[in-house]
């Protein structure tokens, strides 16, 4: 059974930093690209970052470029999102999601999300 679990969310002040983690099981982590997708309260879904299976490629949406960094540790079946210079508009539930085939495809498996609140 595939399992995806995010952690690391919480309350942080504007300008602060937070590191999210995502641990997976039930599939060969090193064979799949992974993503972070967020959802602000009462709003729709927003893709923010993708990292390829071997970490050779990373992609970001413009609003987080230069502030967020995605990484992974295939030996630990773990995905990370380092978030710096946080803003109020970064407040959201952050989901970790696996692509459905290799480094391509749609978001097949999702965690339950972790809430990040940016507020003073």
| Interface positions with another protein (CB under 8 A) | 35, 37, 44-47, 50, 59-62, 95, 100, 104-108, 110-113
**What's the Cα-to-Cα distance from 37 to each of 1, 88, 110, 115, rounded to whole Å?**
22, 17, 9, 12
Residue whose CB is less far from another protein, 56 or 120: 56
- 9 CB-contact burial (10 Å; exposed 0-12 / middle 13-18 / buried 19+): middle
What's the min distance (Å) between Cβ of 46 and another protein? 7
- Minimum Å gap between C-beta 67 and another protein is 15
Smaller CB distance to another protein: residue 86 or 113?
113
By three-state DSSP, how is residue 38 classified? strand
- Which residue bears the tokens 């498996």? 109
- Could you tell me the smallest distance in angstroms from the CB atom of residue 41 to another protein? 12
């Amino acid at each position: 059974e595939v399992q995806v679990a995010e952690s690391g969310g919480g309350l942080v002040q504007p300008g602060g930093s937070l590191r999210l983690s995502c641990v997976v099981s039930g599939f060969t982590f090193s064979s799949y690209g992974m993503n972070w997708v967020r959802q602000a309260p009462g709003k729709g879904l927003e893709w923010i970052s993708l990292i390829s299976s071997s970490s050779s490629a990373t992609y970001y949406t413009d609003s987080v470029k230069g502030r967020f960094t995605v990484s992974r540790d295939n030996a630990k079946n773990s995905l990370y999102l380092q978030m710096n210079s946080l803003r109020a508009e970064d407040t959201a539930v952050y989901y970790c999601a696996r692509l459905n085939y290799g480094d391509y495809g749609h978001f097949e498996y999702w965690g339950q999300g972790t809430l990040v609140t940016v507020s003073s």
